[in-house]
Structure 1
Amino acid sequence: MSVQLNHTIVHSRDNRESAAFLAHILGLETGAEWGPFIPVDTSNGVTLDFATIPAESIVTQHYAFLVSEEEFDAAFARIEQAGLTYYADPHGKQPGEINHNDGGRGVYFHDPSGHGLEIITRPYGGFPDETARASS
């Protein structure tokens, strides 16, 4: 078996709020609570397990999601409908814009716990076959 990322724990101020936020933006479902975790499964089999911890203990992380063009349109519409501030760059110097890196589209925004989230339609330095895979 090859090595694969199976799951990661995402620290949050409120695991339900953060899991529901991500699931809503990406058009996914939250899973059943399991111990201290609220899971959100992605289509490539990786689960993000949201866990509530004290706010002062949260270290901001970055999570990037490769999506199809159609999924980008839907997620971006939900970002705009929620009135979220979004950026074309990870440093927040291009607010209200999307990027077109590697011939695709990308946007950065924050979740309720302050984590940096990103949706992209092409992987950085990506190849067309990887984009096609994201569309399926």
Structure 2
Amino acid sequence: MSVEALVIVNRDNVPLLVKSRRPQSDATTISALFHLHSCLDIICEKQTNRDPFIGLLTQSESHKIYGFCSTTNTKILFMVSPQAIRDNEARLILKTVHNAYVDVTAGHPFYHDSQQIKSTFGFSNRRNIC
């Protein structure tokens, strides 16, 4: 499994963190971000009050996109390469990212809800797309 992109979006659909494996100028990155943004509508349709894990939102021959929506309406999306990934693995990854997000926001007393998250960890290029 290869994670291509990760996006965290607040309740107002403002991106807080956007990470991609490809350089920002790459046309495939722009296309990937378009697909991730279009999945926000799918999350609104599939959202239930019981389980924050939404599951597989969309797939094509080049990627699969999974989603997670917390009780505070924070949405986490990640795009993986088309190799097979099981739902329980996707659930574990999204739960881990959500726990890290909660640690960042709850552990910082001056964090504001629409403030962008900056991270030096993650993918190999270590650059924020936003």
What band does the TM-score fall into relative to the shorter chain?
under 0.3
TM-score of the aligned structures, taking structure 1 as reference length: 0.26
Q: Which structure is richer in relative contact order (CA contacts within 8 A, separation 6 or more)?
A: 2
Q: Give the TM-score normalised by structure 2.
A: 0.27
| Bigger radius of gyration among the two | 1
